[in-house]
Amino acid sequence: MSDGIMSPPYPSETTNSRMLYRHISALRAWVVEQQEVLRPLVPAKFTESLVEPPTMESVTFWDNVSIIDKHTVLMWIRKIRETWDILLRQHEDAWDTKFALFQRYSVVHSAMMVLTQAFVDPETREFNQEKALAKIRQRQALMDKHLRDVLIPDEIRDDVEREQANNLDIATEWFSDDDNQEPGEYQPPEDVT
């Protein structure tokens, strides 16, 4: 593992509005750095460009973001840092493996999502919520498929799919209605001993 790994910011409980803005700027700088590191390793379909945040001179804009939205952004940034720290501890000896790489990408992608929502007013966020959720679900499905294709060898994937199909058959059989049982009537299982 490289010793020069930069971590995302971690806002404290005493963070005020101006400090939170600086943390968002630091988070953006961290994401840009991580994108540069991950760009050669991650397929192009998973990379996105970042929008430039409004400048601090537009204080009226930042002051109009509600307290609850600022708190949510603060907590998201803290969660990103906590997740990154866990990832560093889990993969300190295998930082450049495919598994660690995609977990790193997931954290960076989460940070990108925070940055895209940090300066959005509540009305716009609510208006775009369904579209944004659909995009997130689509991207997550694409990433899940890519992870399965890259990280799980074919023979293991076949075993996993067979096991999932078997579990589905068992669950279907287990939860199916018994034709001999009256609705609402409980029949204990037969004693096997």
pLDDT, tens digit, 9 for 90 and up, residues 33-89: 988 888 877 666 556 667 677 666 655 667 777 888 888 899 999 999 999 999 999
Confidence at residue 171, expressed as pLDDT on a 0 to 100 scale: 45
Q: What's the distance, CA 154 to chain centroid?
A: 26
Q: Answer whether residue 95 shows pLDDT above 80.
A: yes
Among the residue ranges 9-23, 102-116, 125-139, 156-170, the one predicted with the least confidence is: 156-170
The sign of the CA dihedral 53, 58, 64, 67 is: positive
pTM for the complete prediction? Answer: 0.65
Average pLDDT, the chain: 75
Q: Answer whether residue 106 shows pLDDT above 90.
A: no
Report helix, strand or coil for 170: helix
Confidence at residue 88, expressed as pLDDT on a 0 to 100 scale: 92
Confidence at residue 126, expressed as pLDDT on a 0 to 100 scale: 78
Q: Tokens for 164?
A: 């999932």
Burial of 8 (0-12, 13-18, 19+ CB in 10 A): buried
DSSP 95-155: TTSHHHHHHHHHHHHHHHHHHHHHT--HHHHHHHHHHHHHHHHHHHHHHHHHHHHHHS-HH
Among the residue ranges 17-26, 118-127, 160-169, the one predicted with the least confidence is: 160-169
Number of helical H runs and strand E runs in the chain: 6, 0
Report helix angle 67-90 to 17-38, nearest 10: 40
Confidence at residue 48, expressed as pLDDT on a 0 to 100 scale: 64
Q: Are 78 and 13 in contact (CB under 8 A)?
A: no
Q: In Å, what is the CA distance from 14 to each residue of 56, 75, 153?
A: 19, 13, 48
